[in-house]
Structure 1
Amino acid sequence: MLVLVTGGTGFVGAHTVAALAAAGHRVRVLARDPDRVAPALSPLSVPSDAVQVADGDVTDETAVARAVRGVDALVHAASVYSFDSRWHDATRRTNVRGTEVVLAAARRLGVGRSVHVSTFGALLPSPAGTVGPQSPPTTARETYLASKAAAERVARQHQAHGDPVVIAYPPALLGPDDPKLGDQNARLRNVLRGLMPMWPTGGFPVGDVRDTAALLAELATGPAEVGGRHLGPGRYLRTRDYVRAVREVTGRRLPTLFLPARAMLPFAYATDVVQRVWPWHIPAEYGACYVCACDARPEDVARSAGPEPRPVTETLTDTVRWLHRTGRLTAAQAGRAAAPTAPVDPAAPAAGSVRAAAAPRKEARP
C-alpha cells in the first residue's frame, strides 16, 4: 500500500512514516523542504528506498494534488503546533487551509482512506469535564486550539458527506527523536533546566508519540471497518503527577510551586502579548495554562485500534535520555535517566494517575 504522509518531517509525521515503513508499506512524504526528510527519518531507521518525497506545501493546491495522486491512503499530520504567540499567523494560515486543501484533493482523487490528525485540545473546553470522539469542537479563543477546532470542523464535514475520513485525537505527546523539538519535549527540557519553577494546577492527557504513530498507521491501512473517530493512546495526569514522574525518572528534587490554573491565566495571557515582540521564548504560555485550567480527562471508551499506552515513566526516560544524548540536556540535568541502562520500574510509578500508566502494551495490528 502507498500512503501519503503530510508533515512527515515533524514529530508525529516522522514517527508515522517509520511505523508505516516497519509494517511494509511504501510511503510518500509531502515536504516543503525535501532536504529535511532524511535528517528527520534517519534516526528512526527508515530505509531510504521506502520513502518517496513530494515537494510542496499543504496550502498549495497544485503541489497537494500532485502528491495525492496515486496513493491508496493518506495521513494528514501537517500543522503548526505551538502555543508560542510568535507563530500565530503561520498557525492560522496552515492548520485550517492545509486541511481544506488536503482533504478536498483526497476526495476529488478517490483516495481510499484519509486520516486527519486532530488533537484532544480541539475538543476543549468541555463542560462535562471529559473529552471523547463525540465531543463538539472547541470554542476556545487561543490561536492554536481554535485553528485545530476549525480544521476539525472541516474533517467532520467530509465525514458527514460520506467521505472515507477518519479522525484521531492524540494527547500531549512526548518521546525521542523529535526533529524540531516541539512544545511538549521543549517543555520537559525547560523543567529540567530549571526554567519552570511554577506550574498551574489541573491536568491533561499525556502519551507517547510512538504509540500515536502506531495508531495512525493502523487507521490508514487497517480493515475498512476501522473508521470514525479515535482518541489517541494516553493517560490523564495531573500536573503534580507529571512533575512527580519527572522527579522519579531523573532522581532530581525539582522544587515546584503549584498555583491555581485559572488564577494564572491573566499572567499567562500577558506573557503571550510580550512574547510577540520579545525575541527569546518565554516558557509561560497562555495555551498550555488554558489546557491545564480546562482539566479535561479522556472518556473511558473501549479502544478499537492502536496499542495500549506504554508506561509514562518509560516515555519520560526515553525522552530525557534522548535530550541528553543529543546535547540538549547536561548529564546533571538529565540525572539518572542519562545512564544508558537507567532502571525504571513501570510497575511502581510515582503516585496518583501515573500508576495507571503501568498497563501492558499490545502491538498495533498490521
Structure 2
Amino acid sequence: MLVSVTGATGFLGAHAVAAIVRAGHRVRVLVRESAPVDARVAAALDPLGVDPSAVCVVAGDVTDPARVAGLVRGADAVLHAASVYSFDSRDHRAVAATNARGTEVVLGAARAAGVGRTIHVSSVGALLPARGRPLDEDSPLGAPRETYLASKAAADAIARRHRADGAPVLISYPSALIGPHDPRLGDQNARVRNALRGLMPIWPTGGIPVGDVRDTAELHATLLSTPDTATGRHFGPGHYLSTREFMAVLREVTGRRLPAVRLPARAMLPLGALTGALQRVWPWHIPAEYGAIYTCACASAVSDTADTAGVHPRPVTETFRDTVRWLHRDGRLTDRQAGAVGRERTEVSPR
C-alpha cells in the first residue's frame, strides 16, 4: 500500500511514518520547502530507524493545491497529520491561516483523486469544552475560545462534512502527546522539560488526557486497514491526568521533589491572556500560555469505552521515563534535572 502523509517531519507524523513503514507499506511525504527538505526528513525519521528507501519526498505546503494533488495522486491512503500546533501567541496568524485551509485542500484533493481511505488527525481539544462529560466518538464538536483549539475544531468540521458527503474519511483524536524523539520539541515535551528545569512552579488545577506518541502512531497505522465504523472516529490511547498527577509521575520517575503550587485554572486565565499579549513582544518563550491554562480548565477524560481501534496505552510511567531519558540524552536536561532517569543506562525504544 502507498500511503501519502502530511506533517511527516512533526512529532506525531514522524512516529506515524515509522509505524506505517514497520507495517510494510510505502510512504510518500509532503515537506515544506522552508529548510533543506532532505535534511528535515532525515532529522525526523533517522532516529526512528526508518529505511530511507521506503519514503518518497514531495516538496510543498498543505495549502498549495497543486503540490497536494501531486502528493495524493496514485495513493491508496492518506494520513493528514499536518497542522501548526502552538499555544504561543506569536504563532496565532500561522495557526489560523494553515490548519483549516490545509485540511480543506488535503481532504478535497484525496477525494478528487479517489483515494480509498483518508485519515484526518484532529485533537481531543476540538471537542472542548466538554463540561465534564467523558469524551467519546459521539461527542459533538466543541466551540473552544482559544486560537489553536478553535482551528482544530474548524478542521474537524471540514472532515466531518466530507465524511457526511460519502467520502472515505476517518477522524482520529490524539490526546496531548509526549514521548521520545520529538523533532522540534513540541508543546507537551517542552512542558515536561520546563517542569524539570524549575520554570513552572505554578500550575493550574484541572488536567488533560495524555498519550504516548508511539501508541497514537500505532493507532494510525492500524486505521489504514481496520473496518470502518458508524462514526469513523477513533481516540488515541492514553490516560487522563490531573496536573497534580502529572507532577506526581514526574516526581516518581526522576526521584526529585519538584515543588509546585496549584491555583484555580479559571482564575489563572487572565494571567494567561496577559502573558500572551506580552509574548508578542518578548523574545523568549513564556511557559504560562493561555491555551494550556484554558485546556486544563476545560478538558475532560476520554471514556473507557471510546474506540481506540484495539490499541491500548502503555503505562504512563513508561511514557514519562522514556521522555525524560530522551530529553537527557539529547542534551536538553542536565544530569541533575533528569534525576534518577539520568543515571539509567536503558535504551529508549521507538516502540
Match of 2:8 in 1: 8
Q: Which residue of 1 aligns with 2:21?
A: 21
Equivalent in the alignment of 1:259: 263
| Aligned partner letter, 2:27 | V
Query: 1:115: Cα distance to partner?
Result: 0.3
- What amino acid is aligned across from residue 53 of structure 1 in structure 2? V
In the alignment, structure 1 residue 211 sits paired with structure 2 residue 215: yes
Aligned residues: 344
8 Å CA contact retained: 1:219, 1:226: no
Compared CA separation, residues 227 and 29, structure 1 to 2 (3 A): farther
Aligned residue number for residue 248 of structure 1: 252
What residue is the counterpart of 1:125 in the other structure? 129
CA distance in 1, matches of 2:306, 2:269: 34
The question of whether the paired residues in 2 share the 8 Å contact of 1:194 and 1:254 is answered with yes
Q: Which amino acid aligns with 2:25?
A: H
**What is the distance in 2 between the residues matched to 1:341 and 1:223?**
41
**1:207-228 deviation digits (Å, cap 9, x = unpaired):** 1000000001111233456970
**Alpha-carbon deviation of 1:301?**
1.5
Alignment-mate amino acid for residue 209 of structure 2: P
Preserved contact between residue 178 and residue 323 of structure 2 (Cα < 8 Å): yes
CA contact (8 A) 1:226 1:304 kept: no
Task: Check the 8 A contact 2:137/2:306 in 1, yes or no.
Answer: no
Per-residue deviation, residues 92-143 of structure 1 (Å, max 9, x unmatched) = 1110000000000011000000000000000000134322222222211210
Query: What letter is aligned with 1:2?
Result: L
Residue type of the partner of 1:185? N
Q: Does 1:308 align with 2:312?
A: yes
2:170 alignment partner in structure 1: 166
Counterpart amino acid of residue 220 in structure 2: L
In structure 2, what is the equivalent of residue 138 of structure 1? 142
Aligned-pair identity in percent equals 64
1:91 aligned counterpart, secondary structure: helix
Q: Distance in 2 between matches of 1:302 and 1:130?
A: 9
Alignment of 1:329 with 2:333, yes or no, is yes
Q: Confirm whether residue 63 of structure 1 aligns to residue 78 of structure 2.
A: no
**SS where residue 29 of structure 1 aligns?**
strand
Q: Distance in 1 between matches of 2:280 and 2:137?
A: 34
Give secondary structure in 1 for the equivalent of 2:27. Answer: strand
CA shift in 2, pair 1:254/1:236, >3 Å: same
Q: Deviations over 1:16-40 (max 9, x none)?
A: 0000001110011111132311111
CA separation in 2, counterparts of 1:277 and 1:223?
Answer: 49
Is there any run of 5+ residues in structure 1 with no aligned partner, and where? 344-363
In 1, Cα distance between equivalents of 2:172 and 2:137: 8
Distance in 1 of aligned mates of 2:306 and 2:145: 31
**8 Å contact from structure 1 (residues 73, 221) kept in 2:** no
1:194 alignment counterpart = 198
Shifted more, 174-183 versus 132-141: the winner is 132-141
For normalisation by structure 1, the TM-score amounts to 0.91
Which of 287, 306, 324 is the aligned partner of 1:320?
324
1:230 corresponding residue in structure 2 = 234
Letter in 1 for 2:151: S
CA distance in 2, matches of 1:101, 1:39: 27
Cα distance in 2 for residues equivalent to 1:20 and 1:105:
21
**What SS does the corresponding residue of 2:192 show, helix, strand or coil?**
helix
Task: Give, in whole Å, the separation in 1 of the partners of 2:230 and 2:52.
Answer: 29
The aligned residue for residue 153 of structure 1 is 157
Distance, in Å, in 2 between the alignment partners of 1:76 and 1:242 is 29
- Post-superposition CA distance 1:34-90 (Å, at most 9, x none): 231111100000001010101110000000000100100011000011100100011
Does residue 40 of structure 1 match 2:44? yes
Partner residue of 2:115? 111
Partner of 1:347: none
Q: Which amino acid aligns with 1:11?
A: F
Would you say the 8 A contact 2:7–2:81 is kept in 1?
A: yes
The letter of the residue matching 1:297 is A
> Is the Cα–Cα contact under 8 Å of residues 214 and 306 in structure 1 kept in the other structure?
no
- Alignment check: 8 A CA contact 1:138 1:145 kept: no
1:278 equivalent to 2:313? Answer no
* Residue-by-residue CA offset, 1:329-353 (whole Å, 9 max, x unaligned): 001000011133479xxxxxxxxxx
2:85 paired residue among 76, 81, 88: 81
Q: What amino acid maps onto 1:41 in structure 2?
A: L
**CA 1:227–1:137 in structure 2 vs 1: closer, same or farther (change >3 Å)?**
closer
Which amino acid is 2:252 matched to?
E
